[in-house]
A = this chain, B = another copy of it.
Amino acid sequence: MTSKPLNAGNAGNAGNAGNAGNVGRPVGGDSERVRNQLLDAARQHFLDRDFKAVSLRQIADTAGVNPAMVKYYFGGKRGLYLAMVDSMLRQLEERLSALPRGAEISVSEFIHGYTALLAANPWWPNFIVREVLFGDGELREEVIGKFMQHIGPRLIGRVEEEITLGNYRDNLDPSLAVISLLGVTLFPFIAAPIIGRIFKRELGPDDVNELAQHNTALFLQGVLAGPSPGATS
């Protein structure tokens, strides 16, 4: 510990947030509120920018608290991030378990449910794609585990069942079918930022139903004209 001063003399305004100057324990102290403000701010920033692209100071600014509170409440930037991820995943799990499921629901209901869920939580595909594709590896594992262990196999089982029942072609590969199903369901939201630009189509909240209907029809009937059974028109 030689402790030679390197950059002494700067300091000053490094993101004067919220109650600047009010040093010391605040009067109507609600520590839970500060914690949640930090979580909210973290959500806002992390959901559309990379972990490294977001600075503690930015989060603290948005939350209106001092950057040191991140250490105080979450141990550091990483801790805050993990806490945020956790709260997100728990929220999503709630929504997921509220969706209709079981053997009796139709693919249409399934697609409609997930499409509506995605439309209501547009952060989800973005976040998952970012975590899974560009994550450091640790969070990646966690996210994959928490999400896909349940959803993936359940979907595959469902498709296998339909094949056994004779409802789906028996030359259908169940896992590829599920990948396709996820593709048509997720991709519009993954690509949302550019869809409007390219396709002159916004996919706003009103179009969600139309999208779900389209996906259902495509998945079930494909695009071919002719004597396809069960036309929706």
Q: Determine if A173 is an interface residue (Cβ-Cβ < 8 Å).
A: yes
Q: Determine if A15 is an interface residue (Cβ-Cβ < 8 Å).
A: no
The residue among A144, A168, A222 with the most chain B CB atoms within 10 A of its own CB is: A222
Kindly state the separation between the CA atoms of A173 and B184 in the bound complex, as whole angstroms.
Answer: 14
| B-side contacts of A197, CB under 8 Å | 144, 148
Question: Given A183-B183, A187-B182, is A148 in contact with B194 using a C-beta cutoff of 8 Å?
Answer: yes
Chain B's closest residue to A225 (CB) is: B169
Decide: A180 and B224 in contact? CB cutoff 8 A. Answer: no
As for how many copies of this chain the complex holds, the number is 2
Interface segment out of the listed A35-43, A45-53, A59-67, A74-82? A45-53
Partner of A179, one of B50, B134, B188: B188
Question: Given A134-B49, A175-B200, A191-B132, is A221 in contact with B218 using a C-beta cutoff of 8 Å?
Answer: no
Kindly state the separation between the CA atoms of A215 and B231 in the bound complex, as whole angstroms.
Answer: 21
Q: Determine if A97 is an interface residue (Cβ-Cβ < 8 Å).
A: no
| B-side contacts of A186, CB under 8 Å | 183, 187
Per the 8 Å Cβ criterion, residues 152-202 of A in contact with B are 152-153, 156, 159, 162, 166-173, 175-180, 182-188, 190-191, 193-195, 197-201
Which residues of chain A have a CB within 8 Å of any CB of chain B? Answer: 6-7, 48-50, 52-53, 126, 129-130, 132-134, 140, 144, 148-149, 152-153, 156, 159, 162, 166-173, 175-180, 182-188, 190-191, 193-195, 197-201, 210-211, 214-215, 217-233
Decide: B48 and A50 in contact? CB cutoff 8 A. Answer: no
Chain B's closest residue to A153 (CB) is: B198
| B-side contacts of A217, CB under 8 Å | 222
Kindly state the separation between the CA atoms of A119 and B14 in the bound complex, as whole angstroms.
Answer: 47
| B-side contacts of A225, CB under 8 Å | 166-170
Question: Given A134-B50, A148-B197, A187-B182, is A219 in contact with B214 using a C-beta cutoff of 8 Å?
Answer: no
